[in-house]
A = this chain, B = another copy of it.
Amino acid sequence: MALSRTSLETAIHEKIRSSGLRLTMPRRAICSVLSAHEEEFLTTSEILSAVEMNGLAIDPSTVYRTLDDFAEIGLVHHIHLGSQPGQWHLTVDHDHQHLVCESCGRTTLVPTIEIEPLFEVLRRSYGFHASLHHFAILGTCADCEPSDGHPHG
């Protein structure tokens, strides 16, 4: 039951307000970009360019701060691949996690239920609460793993 882009944005706006953050022009602009790229990870500079393409001008530092604020309320999360700049992603939908291929950069979605047993072990045995927002698993996807028996053309 996917939300339309507009409803998605409305939902995000509500989350921002209800978390005690103010809904400002830069934040709207960033939300809009994130909603339009719901399935991708974007770098800060990609976000910035996209905002500018929408005819708006915001400061790079505002992008960084806004993303940090959004991360704090669980609206977005980010990952780092190797030494590349961080990549950001909406976290509206918590029922999947990300497998990120270090070779081709593609992300695969995995239902959280597959990973929940591990989290349960970590909670029970170590008292450790894994953060869903930051949990991206890096590795090599089927297409990029040479000896996997899943060759692709």
* Bound-complex Cα distance A145 to B145 (A): 38
**A128 with B115: in contact, given A64-B83, A122-B110 (CB under 8 Å)?**
no
CB A36 to nearest CB in B, in angstroms, measures 24
Asked if A137 lies at the interface with its beta carbon under 8 angstroms from chain B, I say: yes
Interface flags for A86-113 (1: CB within 8 Å of B; 0: not) read 1000000000000101100000101000
A128 adjacent to B102 (CB under 8 Å): no
* Bound-complex Cα distance A77 to B32 (A): 35
Asked if A60 lies at the interface with its beta carbon under 8 angstroms from chain B, I say: no
Number of A residues near B (Cβ < 8 Å) is 37
Interface SS majority for chain A: mixed
* Other-chain contact of A86, B80, B101, B108, B126 (Cβ < 8 Å): B80
B82 adjacent to A68 (CB under 8 Å): yes
Closest B residue, CB atoms, query A147: B129
B131 adjacent to A139 (CB under 8 Å): yes
* Other-chain contact of A148, B80, B129, B137, B145 (Cβ < 8 Å): B129
A110 adjacent to B86 (CB under 8 Å): no
